[in-house]
Amino acid sequence: MTTPIEYAHANGATFRQQLHDLIRIPSVSTDSQYAGDVRRAADWLAAELKRIGMENVAVMPTAGHPVVYADWLHAGADKPTVLIYGHYDVQPADKVKDNWTSEPFEPIERDGFIYARGSSDDKGQAYIHVKAAEAYLKTEGKLPVNVKFILEGEEEIGSKNLQDFLKTYAAMLKADVAVISDTGMTSADQPEITRSLRGLTYMELNVTASSKDLHSGGYGGAIPNPALILAQMVAKLHNPDNSIAVPGFYDKVRPLTDADRSEIAKLALPDSEYLNITGAPGMWGEAAYTADERIVARPTLEINGLLSGWTGEGAKTVLPCKAMAKISCRLVADQEPVEIYELVKAYIAQIAPPNVHAELKLINAGDPASIDPTLPVMQAAVRAYERGWGKAPLYSRTGGSIPVVADFKRILNVNTVMLGFGLNTDGAHGPDEHYSIDMFHKGIDTAIYYLEEVAK
């Protein structure tokens, strides 16, 4: 009889073509004009889960984009239930504006990688688990454990409606462990299991002065310039040592222990490698911490966007009436995202001069999260990686944010094992996002092994 692994290997090319079909649907959740495509991606996944033999498949409505649910619960009451989470929505991408080499929603396989928006984050990684389930169901006719899929369409906009969904369907979603593949490794040869994630507070700052744009010759020098004042306010968000100047920002940050620092150092890259990967002329950040410590274990405050006045070609001598900055903080334990928003808001109110209106809106918020590596569900993951990669995994921490991990713990009381099958260099959220074909196939093997190991 064909084993699940053999089935996965025999059908590798087909699996990739199916993934291409999913990627071609531009399910951009951050832009309302793509709402129909987001729905189309949900329907596509529901049909696929039904086809492979999952049961109770449903595209379940939320106040925003739907959640795709499916289960298979015939492994027996003595077997654990694994809740597999992924997201089918993606970040925006524009070939010309963002300077992609090929069309972001037309996947192309080039030099061992699939180039497309969502190839790694998270369609490619989420789909690995669909294919692992298919490999069991099409060969053995059953799964080694009970499995529930929950695939959401709002991860890139802060999983706004997922908490309500988890609360409403807590009984249906009851599980012994949650599994997420939405993280990256430093090196393709060295598997990693993520044991901590940063939280996120994403905000928008709007500074306005006059009721409409003015002629800079007629009013400049007398009427406040929101672009200038916004820049002056942004410049006050950090101290000269690049630490964050918002009062109280660091109050709840857990200091790094020597053990933390040595664990982080095992997977750390030298600055030269960061410069090589990014092309930046130099590093930036808090001098008292290494680059990896700053990325995975220290909070940050970044400017994600700026917009004001004339941004086209050439000159327009306008005195803008408004200026906007997108500002986000990555948070570490035990920072609370809404409290951070309140702190930043209070500081903005304090530094905003009285001759402008300054408003800070909260766009979304997610808690930081961590998991104990000694838990049996984590040890099962260690064994799965050893079998899938032929090498013991290291424990890593990621600078990114998956707020659902904290939500699973708080609402469903379930721990999450992060089986990351991406690479940190995949270019998630940026142009030319790509996913290693080799990682995709090794990921399916490892996901198959994980279901077997966690059943023990």
Residues 218-237 touching a copy of itself, rule: CB under 8 A, are: 218-225, 227-228, 230-232, 234-237
* 8 Å CB contact between 423 and 436: yes
Of positions 325, 406, 439, 454, contacts a copy of itself by CB under 8 A: 325
Element (H, E) at 84: strand 81-87
Q: Which amino acid is at 172?
A: M
By beta-carbon proximity to a copy of itself, the closer residue of 100 and 449 is: 100
With binding defined as CB under 8 A, does residue 210 bind a copy of itself?
A: yes
- Contact segment (CB under 8 A) with a copy of itself among 42-50, 151-159, 164-172, 188-196 equals 151-159
Secondary structure of residue 164 in the 3-state scheme: helix
With binding defined as CB under 8 A, does residue 319 bind a copy of itself?
A: yes
CA neighbours closer than 13 Å in the CB half-sphere of residue 359: 7
With binding defined as CB under 8 A, does residue 65 bind a copy of itself?
A: no
- CB 110 to a copy of itself: min, Å: 16
Binding to a copy of itself, residues 397-456 (CB under 8 A): 398-401, 424, 427-432
Secondary structure of residue 258 in the 3-state scheme: helix
- CB 347 to a copy of itself: min, Å: 15
By beta-carbon proximity to a copy of itself, the closer residue of 53 and 285 is: 285
Here's the x/- map for a copy of itself, 108-147, by CB under 8 A: it reads as ----------------------------------------
CA–CA dist 378, 193 (Å, integer): 8
Of positions 184, 388, 403, 443, contacts a copy of itself by CB under 8 A: 184
- CB 71 to a copy of itself: min, Å: 31
Is the bond into 445 cis (omega within 30 degrees of 0)?
A: no
Binding to a copy of itself, residues 363-382 (CB under 8 A): 363-364
Of positions 22, 84, 200, 447, contacts a copy of itself by CB under 8 A: 200
* 8 Å CB contact between 424 and 185: yes
β partners of residue 71? 55, 148
- CB 394 to a copy of itself: min, Å: 17
By beta-carbon proximity to a copy of itself, the closer residue of 16 and 298 is: 298
Binding to a copy of itself, residues 230-289 (CB under 8 A): 230-232, 234-238, 274, 278-286
- Binding residues with a copy of itself: total (CB under 8 A): 100
* 8 Å CB contact between 226 and 323: yes
Give every CB contact of residue 412 below 8 A, 6+ residues apart in sequence: 83, 166, 170, 173, 174, 175, 178
Q: Which amino acid is at 71?
A: D
From residue 252, how far is each of 50, 236, 332, 342, 410 by CA, in Å?
A: 46, 21, 9, 14, 19
- CB 225 to a copy of itself: min, Å: 6
- CB 206 to a copy of itself: min, Å: 12
By beta-carbon proximity to a copy of itself, the closer residue of 98 and 140 is: 98
Cα torsion through 296, 298, 303, 305, rounded to 10: 20
Binding to a copy of itself, residues 284-313 (CB under 8 A): 284-286, 291-292, 294-295, 298, 300, 302-313
Give every CB contact of residue 400 below 8 A, 6+ residues apart in sequence: 183, 184, 197, 198
CA–CA dist 37, 43 (Å, integer): 10
With binding defined as CB under 8 A, does residue 190 bind a copy of itself?
A: no
- Contact segment (CB under 8 A) with a copy of itself among 106-114, 164-172, 315-323, 404-412 equals 315-323
Token readout for 137 is 């169901």
Is the bond into 271 cis (omega within 30 degrees of 0)?
A: no
CA–CA dist 52, 143 (Å, integer): 12
Of positions 350, 355, 391, 392, contacts a copy of itself by CB under 8 A: 355
- CB 342 to a copy of itself: min, Å: 18
Token readout for 141 is 């006719």
